[in-house]
Amino acid sequence: MSISLREVTKENWVQCIRLKLAPEQEKLVTPNVDSIAESKFEPHYVPRAIYREEKVVGFLMYCRDETEEKDLYWLFRFMVDVDYQKQGIGKAALELALNEISQTNCCKLNIIYSPKNSVAAKLYASFGFKQVDIAEDGDIIVQKTINEATP
C-alpha cells in the first residue's frame, strides 16, 4: 500500500470535499470544503490530499504560526475517509506530514483535537506528542519537537 501527500489542486479538490466521516465523527472535524476555502485566503495554510495509490482517501492541513513563534507549526485538520479507516493510512499520512513539516523551519508542531476523539489521542500519543494546553473551546493541544531550535 503506497500512501502519499499531494497538493490540493483543481483536479482533486472535489474528491477531497466528497470524503466522508462516520456520523459520530462529523462534529469532531471541520468539513474539508471549509478548510480548502480557508487556504485560499490564508496563504500560509498548506492543504494536502492523502492518497492511497491514485485515490484520494483523506485530507490534512498545516501552517506556520503567524502570531507567536515563527518556528511553531500547527497541524489543525486531519481526516481519513470512513471507508479507509483502520488500515494504517492515518498513521502513514501523519508520518509523511511530519517528514514534510520537518523540512521547514519548524521546531515544534502543535496538533489540536476534540477531547471526544479518542482515536486521535491514541495516534498522536504513539508519535510522542504530549499535551501542552487546552484551547478555549475545550479542545486538546498536543506538541512534539520536530527540529531543535538554533540559537
Q: pLDDT above 90 covers what percent of the chain? A: 86
Query: Using CA atoms in the order 72, 97, 86, 118, what is the torsion angle rounded to 10 degrees?
Result: 0
Which of 3.90.1150.10, 3.20.20.140, 3.40.630.30, 3.20.20.10 would CATH assign to domain 3-145?
A: 3.40.630.30
- This prediction's pTM: 0.93
User: What is the reported pLDDT for 36?
Assistant: 97
Q: What does the block give as the cell for 121?
A: 489521542
* 3-class DSSP string for the chain: CCEEEEECCCCCHHHHHCCCCCHHHHHHCCCHHHHHHHHHHCCCEEEEEEEECCEEEEEEEEEECCCCCCCEEEEEEEEECHHHCCCCHHHHHHHHHHHHHHCCCCCEEEEEECCCCHHHHHHHHHCCCEEEEECCCCCEEEEEECCCCCC
The structural domains of the chain, with segments of one domain joined by +, span 3-145
**Does residue 148 have a pLDDT over 80?**
no
Dump pLDDT digits (tens) for 74-113.
999 999 999 999 999 999 999 999 999 999 989 999 999 9
